[in-house]
Amino acid sequence: MKYKVALLYCFSDDSQWQQVLKMNKSIEYCCIDITSHDWLQQCLSVDYQLFLVKAPGTTTSIKQLFDERIVVLSKMMGKHIYPSLQELLIYENKRLLAQWLTIQGIPTPQTQVFYSKTECLEFLCNTKFPIVGKINIGSSGKGVTILRDFEKANKYVNQIFNNGIRPYIGPNFRTSSIVSKIKKMISSKGLLAHKVKVYKSIYNEPQRYAILQGYVKHSFEWRVVVIGESYFAHKKIVSGSKASGSLLKGYDDPPLSLFDFVYDFCIKTDLSSTSIDLFETPSGYVVNEIQTFFGQSDPIQMRVGGIAGRYQRINGSWVFEEGDWAEYECYQLRLSHAISLLENRNDQ
């Protein structure tokens, strides 16, 4: 049996979805730009059994458009999408994520969202420093600012409410060299024009509200990846003042208590395809951020005893399985999980 699958993307699909889809002989798929005017007609033109998604993470306006159209497919039409609607809505939306974590009763740094400059400045006068300023959308620590005293925080807040703030705009030379990026630009038709369009969009959407979060002193964050029954974890090491975007990894054996916490968290919140960044504190684990889609600078996500592999929870115990489970930036594992969910749904 062949599954009919639609891959939904925004403007251009630079994910690994297509690569793993091409390798799967049990799938017929096509790509649909969800920003196109006739996206809905394209989705209805074939009786697709599964909609695979790569959500955008560049500008709020495009993310809002994307979320609205995913709601149409999932909630209004009952289509099967992967990842889930909940996982897509909280992705690259720190404002929503903070409220969602609070409602779920999950330990997380206290986060305040201010649309009033007066309220925000009053908060600064009564808070302890340092605190963290964040931009609602943006990964790799690009929109994170450590505000160590009132003077810096006051300047930051005034910039937000007077002119707005933006994340870093431009190539990320931490992931690859300038030479390799130039080669990619030359070999990929239209890539330069697309990048310039994205950078202009980011510049034209400054954030004019403040997201302020309590600061948790740390030398690393745990990055835990959960895809179906597979669990991985490694350390994101702090460089300067931030772990996100440093690309420094630590592959110490992760404690099983970490997986117990994340397992209970995912069961409670119904997450099954995500990555979770956590602080390890004397009082327990604290969730910092959740990313449904995430970068992967190394070909693995975890080592135990120096061996790459994954953990699975079997009969209440954590069992390690050696293997290259994180290949293709975990998209192969995502596809297997998506098909498994589809088959379970069809059996019901």
The domains of the chain are located at: 3-82, 107-214, 220-347
Q: Count of residues for the chain?
A: 348
Distance, in Å, from the CA atom of 44 to the CA atom of 206, rounded to the nearest integer, reads: 36
Give the pLDDT score at 348.
67
Helix (H) or strand (E) holding 180: helix 178-187
Q: Which residues pair with 144 in a beta bridge?
A: 134
Q: Residue 62 CA to chain centroid, in angstroms?
A: 16
Where does the chain show beta strands of DSSP type E? 3-9, 27-33, 50-53, 81-82, 111-114, 131-134, 144-147, 210-214, 220-227, 230-237, 249-250, 273-281, 284-291, 303-304, 307-314, 317-322
Are 266 and 278 a contacting pair, CB within 8 Å?
no
* Peptide bond before residue 130 is cis, with ω within 30 degrees of 0: yes
Distance, in Å, from the CA atom of 32 to the CA atom of 40, rounded to the nearest integer, reads: 9
Does the pLDDT value for residue 63 go beyond 90? yes
162 CB burial (10 A radius; 0-12, 13-18, 19+): exposed
State the DSSP code for 140. Answer: T
**Side-chain-side CA neighbours of residue 295 (13 Å):** 17
Give the pLDDT score at 326.
95
Distance, in Å, from the CA atom of 188 to the CA atom of 107, rounded to the nearest integer, reads: 44
**Mean local confidence (pLDDT), 33-62:** 94
CB atoms near residue 183 (< 10 Å): 12
CATH H-level, domain 107-214: superfamily: ATP-grasp fold, A domain (3.30.1490.20)
Residue 298 backbone zone (phi > 0: left; psi -120 to 50: alpha; other: beta): beta
**Mean local confidence (pLDDT), 216-239:** 95
Tokens of 46: 């074939």
**Mean local confidence (pLDDT), 330-343:** 96
Are 8 and 50 a contacting pair, CB within 8 Å?
no
Tokens of 202: 């980011």
Q: Which tens digit of pLDDT belongs to each residue from 105-128?
A: 999 999 999 999 999 999 999 999
Q: Residue 233 CA to chain centroid, in angstroms?
A: 15
Are 15 and 55 a contacting pair, CB within 8 Å?
no
Q: Which fold does the domain 3-82 belong to in CATH? A: Rossmann fold (3.40.50)
Q: Coil, helix or strand for 164?
A: coil
- The structure tokens 């690859």 sit at 176
Give the pLDDT score at 167.
77
The architecture of the domain spanning 220-347 is 2-Layer Sandwich (3.30)
Task: Provide the whole-model pTM.
Answer: 0.90
Does the pLDDT value for residue 336 go beyond 90? yes
273-281 and 220-227 beta bridge pairing: antiparallel
Tokens of 121: 């400045």
Average pLDDT, the chain: 90
- The structure tokens 């007066």 sit at 118
Confidence of residue 141 (pLDDT cuts 50, 70, 90): low
What is the CA angle 212-84-13, rounded to 5? 85
Query: Could you write out the DSSP letters of every residue in 59-94?
Result: -HHHHHHHHHHHHIIIIIT---EES-HHHHHSTT-H
Q: Which tens digit of pLDDT belongs to each residue from 145-204?
A: 999 999 999 999 999 999 999 876 766 655 556 666 666 666 666 667 767 777 777 888
Does the pLDDT value for residue 275 go beyond 60? yes
Q: Which residues pair with 51 in a beta bridge?
A: 6, 81
Q: Which tens digit of pLDDT belongs to each residue from 67-98?
A: 999 999 999 999 999 999 999 999 999 999 99
